[in-house]
């Protein structure tokens, strides 16, 4: 069978909407918030034009959008929503309710700092602040990766041994509004990769089940224990799904957990995620052309955290610097904390660098400074 695809130029937000359309959700609860608004705008066009057979629910808040997402999955249909920043914060009450119900929802996040002061630009404080709520989190470097990750997110979420919701994160404005060429896949080919959603657990009068009941101390613990087991299963499934995706579509992003760039002989390396990876690639290429043994570890999957993959990647390094676009105030960056935990028994020195908060650029000069700091054996710092 021959499948046809098409190449187009579009923004990261539009790429996500195109991918969602191909996944055929039936319910779209949406509340617009900058910089994610382009996603529901384009999806509403698809619904209005008859390109997507779905019910778009215009809710009164992000809290309601997450609640409607729960309700859609409770009825047994595939659904989708999108949000950002304080909208994610307003969803906070519902996010763990979705994950504890083991509903395989997918949501895109156009990462934007959480106010205040009021700021509409990019950092990762919105999604990173929800890292403990039982949602798998992927971070994308390009529009093509955002498109591809939506397809893989549904396939992963709907795996019986995973059955957890997924956030697909793209940097606000830096990716959500930037136009890039990408390949849009044929519907039949996507259908072959992502089968129709056939949930075992949903509301059915002929087979009554309870969703969201009260959990007393003799059962609550087990709910979260099962979610942890599912996260561990996701660590196994993500590389398998990426391998299958590469076979079907010809593209890959490392093994789906991390991607290693020039790491074979590296003595110093960066760990970064999102669009800052693109800048880091340029820096690593420049420094290697000068004979410096440096490398880059792209962190695609943040939750579940790929600790073993990080350990293997860093085993021969003298030092690694982590670029965090989020700070856990009173402590360090979220990624830095996880990397330090993963490497606590390793010789590799770990230094965290807080950068890019509130949309400030992470440019080549700043990343070169990180490598210089690592080589001198100095401490990490706020990379302003």
- Do 141 and 221 fall within a single domain? yes
In a domain, 227, yes or no: yes
Residue 344 lies in a domain: yes
- 279 and 171 within one domain: no
DSSP string, 39-78: HHHHHHHHHHTTSS--EEEE-SSHHHHHHHHHHHHHTT--
- Return the biggest CA–CA distance within the chain: 69
The pLDDT of residue 105 is 98
The span from the first CA to the last CA of the chain, in angstroms, equals 53
> How many independent structural domains does the chain possess?
2
- What's the pLDDT at 1? 38
What angle separates helix 143-157 from helix 220-249, to the nearest 10 degrees? 130
Mean pLDDT over 32-58 rounds to 97
* Residue 157 shares a structural domain with residue 215: yes
The pLDDT assigned to 69 comes to 98
Q: Which tens digits make up the pLDDT trace of 159-193?
A: 999 999 999 999 999 999 999 999 999 999 999 99
Please give the Cα distance from 352 to 181 (Å, whole number).
33
Average pLDDT for residues 117-133, to the nearest whole number?
Answer: 97
Do 130 and 266 share a domain, yes or no?
A: no
Q: Among 195, 222, 249, give the residue marking a domain's end.
A: 249
Mean of all residue pLDDT scores within the chain: 97
As a whole number, mean pLDDT of residues 10-24 equals 98
Residue with tokens 């009164």: 60
Mean pLDDT of 320-345: 97
Q: Which of 42-51, 209-218, 320-329 has the lowest mean pLDDT?
A: 209-218
Q: Same domain, yes or no, for 276 and 180?
A: no
What's residue 59's pLDDT? 97
CATH number at residue 105: 3.40.50.970
Q: What is the mean pLDDT of residues 185-208?
A: 95
Q: Residue 265 maps to which CATH number?
A: 3.40.50.920
Answer yes or no: is pLDDT of 25 > 50: yes
pLDDT interval class at 2 (50, 70, 90): very low
Last residue of a domain, one of 230, 249, 268: 249
Residues sharing a CB contact under 8 Å with residue 364, sequence separation 6 or more, in sequence order: 279, 282, 283, 286
Q: Are 123 and 262 found together in one domain?
A: no
Residue ranges making up the domain that contains 158? 6-249
Angle, helices 38-48 vs 12-23, to 10°: value is 40
pLDDT tens-digit profile of 99-118?
A: 999 999 999 999 999 998 99
Is the pTM higher than 0.95?
yes
pLDDT band (50, 70, 90) for residue 212: confident
Q: What is the length of the chain?
A: 384
Is residue 381 situated within a structural domain? no
Q: Flag whether pLDDT at 3 surpasses 70.
A: no
Q: What is the mean pLDDT of residues 245-252?
A: 97
Give a yes or no: residue 384 inside a domain: no
Residue 383 belongs to a domain:
no
- Same domain for 56 and 201, yes or no, is yes
Q: What confidence tier does 4 reach under pLDDT thresholds 50, 70, 90?
A: low
CB atoms within 10 A of CB 364: 13
Q: How far is CA 255 from CA 164, 238, 313, 334, in A?
A: 20, 8, 13, 22
Do 52 and 145 fall into the same domain? yes
- Same domain (yes/no): 197, 280: no
CB 128 within 8 A of CB 334: yes
pLDDT tens digits along 75-85: 999 999 999 99
- If DSSP codes are grouped into helix, strand and coil, which group holds residue 324? strand
Mean pLDDT throughout 349-377? 97
Q: Pull the structure tokens for residue 17.
A: 């909407």
pLDDT surpassing 70 at residue 137: yes
Residues 262 and 245 grouped into a single domain? no
At which of 186, 215, 249 does a domain end?
Answer: 249
Confidence class of residue 66 from pLDDT cuts 50, 70 and 90? very high
Convert 30-55 to b/e letters by CB count within 10 Å (16 or more is b).
bbbbbbbbbbbebbbebbeeeebebe
């Amino acid at each position: 069978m021959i499948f046809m695809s098409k190449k187009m130029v579009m923004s990261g937000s539009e790429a996500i909407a195109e991918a969602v359309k191909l996944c055929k959700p039936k319910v779209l609860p949406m509340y617009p918030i900058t910089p994610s608004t382009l996603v529901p705008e384009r999806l509403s066009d698809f619904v209005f034009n008859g390109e997507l057979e779905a019910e778009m629910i215009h809710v009164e808040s992000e809290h309601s959008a997450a609640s409607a997402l729960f309700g859609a999955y409770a009825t047994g249909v595939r659904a989708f929503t999108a949000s950002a920043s304080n909208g994610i914060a307003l969803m906070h009450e519902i996010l763990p309710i979705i994950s504890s119900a083991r509903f395989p929802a997918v949501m895109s996040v156009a990462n934007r700092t959480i106010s205040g002061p009021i700021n509409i630009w990019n950092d990762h404080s919105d999604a990173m602040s929800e890292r403990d709520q039982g949602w798998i989190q992927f971070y994308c470097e390009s529009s093509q990766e955002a498109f591809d990750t939506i397809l893989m997110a549904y396939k992963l979420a709907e795996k019986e041994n995973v059955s957890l919701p997924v956030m697909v994160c793209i940097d606000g404005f830096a990716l959500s509004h930037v136009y890039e060429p990408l390949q849009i896949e044929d519907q039949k080919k996507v259908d072959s990769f992502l089968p129709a959603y056939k949930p075992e657990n949903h509301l059915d009068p002929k087979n009554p089940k309870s969703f969201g009941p009260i959990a007393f101390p003799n059962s609550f613990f087990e709910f979260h224990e099962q979610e942890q087991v599912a996260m561990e299963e996701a660590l196994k499934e993500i590389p398998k799904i990426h391998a299958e995706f590469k076979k079907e579509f010809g593209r890959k992003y490392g093994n789906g957990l991390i991607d290693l760039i020039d790491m074979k002989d590296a003595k110093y390396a960066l760990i970064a995620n999102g669009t800052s990876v693109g800048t880091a690639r340029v820096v690593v290429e420049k420094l290697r052309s000068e004979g410096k043994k440096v490398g880059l570890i792209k962190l695609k999957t943040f939750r579940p955290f790929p600790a073993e993959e990080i350990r293997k990647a860093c085993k021969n390094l003298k030092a690694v610097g982590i670029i965090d676009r989020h700070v856990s105030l009173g402590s360090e960056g979220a990624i830095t904390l996880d990397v330090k935990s993963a490497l606590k028994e390793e010789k590799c020195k770990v230094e965290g660098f807080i950068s890019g908060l509130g949309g400030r650029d992470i440019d080549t000069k700043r990343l070169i400074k990180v490598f210089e700091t690592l080589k001198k054996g100095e401490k990490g710092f706020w990379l302003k």
